[in-house]
Structure 1
Amino acid sequence: MRIFAIGDIHGGLKALIQLLNKIEVKDEDTLIFMGDYVDGWSESAQVIEFLMELSQTINCVFIKGNHDVWCEDWLKSDDVNPTWYMHGGKETIESYIGLSKDDKKRHLEFFENMPLYYLDDENRLFLHAGFTSMHGVEKEVFQSTFFYDRTLWEMALSMDNGIKTDSLLYPNRLKHYQEIFIGHTPTINFKQEVPMHAVNVWNIDTGAAFTGKLSAINVNTKAIFQSDNLPSLYPDEKGRNKG
């Protein structure tokens, strides 16, 4: 059985379809999505619809990201968070034009049922951003940490990759899991176009919201698959490249 971790999609349905075609997804595969399905490119609502249909035939895990929280709140209350609106929410709202109340209700339920993290049988942790508790995710005090934390990735980047887990210098936060897979922090911020690896942490967000690609990694073999750069797939749009 193949297991793939897939990075932040941000409304890029064309990239998602292209990526899944490159993977050549099979019925027995498992797809673990790292969150942030919406906000950025013009097809956020269509991404959600596609993923809901995909999950009918393929085993999928949909982790919740911070942009998903914003969209969920909007679908629930119809209130527009100003911060969300400026960071992709406008495009997401526009993508829902024409969808019925029943469609929106189904999408809301989809968001509400998303887990905050996923731990597999091999003790590999998957979550959107990070966590701060030295005792692991189950002891995390603030739920928002799972959506926004970047300190886990920053810590992993600053460590000596040769350090052993039994070293007094090895952070307790990392000892709980064989591997940790995250999204949220684009690798293009570090001038890397492919998923990055530091200690036992893998960052799968390769900047699909901006100028990067949508990426997937085979969790077992570490083979990497990527779409084209998103601006080339949406040449008439800016995504979240507003500045």
Structure 2
Amino acid sequence: METYVIGDIHGAARALDQVLERSPFRPGIDRLIQLGDVADGWPDTPACVERLLGIPHSIWLQGNHDWWAAEWLATQLPLEEVNPYWYKQGGRATFDAYQRLPASERSRHFHQFFGEQRPYFEDEANNLYVHGGYTPHRPIAEQDPYDLIWNRDLWDGNQTATGYHECFIGHTSTWAYKKVPCQTNNVWNIDQGAGYRGRLSMLNVRTKAFVQSDPVPELYPNVAGR
């Protein structure tokens, strides 16, 4: 069994389909870890959720956008009552997409997917997977899950993931200066800006071989995105 990680998808189901097709990933044999932020930005968040639900041995981490989307799905508030910050930061695409589905489907996605996302994951090789980051000098189990989806200090501060072999994160896009998965110390960043004008990345944890989608705006012509 190999382990693969996928970075921030942000509603780009067409990009997700591309990396799954381009990768040697074997559904039902290999393990897939999605690093969070499945939701918000491009118009296909429900389709992304359906794709991931259909892949055995999947582990889904919670991103900050997933947190916002889950808050709304838990209540299904009308537009005038939704979190305005979420709505302006890509949530509008998620809100509009789910409005086209019956309430039963929205509830199913909330319970079967968003409600099953984890704050972090540690594998048998002592690798850590987390959406944003964590504070290395404290045990991760003692840290607030909300901080784990927002923390950028691990990457921006050029820190080492103390106590782990390697650490895999998303959240902080490298598209402006590095357009492929990249490493600082023992930390790998797999967010190459699919939520904006970049590509979605999928990487083999053991070999570091990776595939990427086309630039996501090319997959969604005439769609504004975030």
Letter in 1 for 2:133: G
Residue of structure 2 aligned with 1:217, choices 196, 203, 207:
203
- SS across alignment from 1:181: strand
Give the match for residue 14 of structure 2: 14
Distance 1:232 1:125 in 2: 32
SS of match in other structure, 2:157: helix
Q: Which residue of 1 aligns with 2:192?
A: 206
Aligned residues: CA RMSD: 1.3
Matching residue of 1:151? 153
Distance 2:88 2:70 in 1: 16
Q: How does 1:32-47 map to 2 (within 5 A)?
A: 32-47=33-48
User: For residue 218 of structure 2, what is the amino acid of its counterpart?
Assistant: S
Gapped runs of 5+ residues in structure 1? Answer: 160-170
Cα separation, 2, equivalents of 1:144 and 1:53? 27
8 A contact 2:41–2:91 mirrored in 1: yes
One-letter amino acid of the structure 1 residue matched with residue 166 of structure 2: E
Task: Single out whichever of 63-72 and 78-87 deviates more from structure 2.
Answer: 78-87
How far is 1:136 from its partner? Answer: 2.7
In structure 1, give the amino acid aligned to 2:100.
G
**Structure 1 residue 52: Cα displacement:** 1.2
Contact 1:185 1:205 in 2 (8 A): yes
Change (3 A) 1:179 1:133: closer
Whether the 8 Å contact between 1:129 and 1:147 is mirrored in structure 2 is yes
Give the letter for the 1:211 counterpart. R
Letter paired with 1:220: R
Aligned to 1:235: 221
Matched, 1:119 2:122: yes
Q: Equivalents in 1 of 2:12, 2:41: separation in Å?
A: 8
Q: Does 1:67 align with 2:69?
A: no
Count the aligned residue pairs: 220
Does the CA-based 8 Å contact 1:6-1:33 persist in structure 2? yes
Counting only pairs closer than 5 Å after superposition, residues 73-152 of structure 1 correspond to structure 2 as 73-79=71-77, 80-109=82-111, 110-140=113-143, 142-152=144-154
Deviation at 1:98, TM superposition (A): 2.6
Q: Which has the larger radius of gyration?
A: 1
Displacement of 1:11 in angstroms is 0.3
SS at structure 1 position matched to 2:214: strand
- Following the alignment from structure 2 to structure 1, what is the Cα–Cα distance between the partners of residues 54 and 211? 22
2:53 is aligned with 1:52: yes
What secondary structure sits across from 1:96 in the alignment?
A: helix
CA contact (8 A) 1:122 1:178 kept: yes
1:139 alignment partner AA: E
Cα distance, 1:42 vs structure 2: 0.8
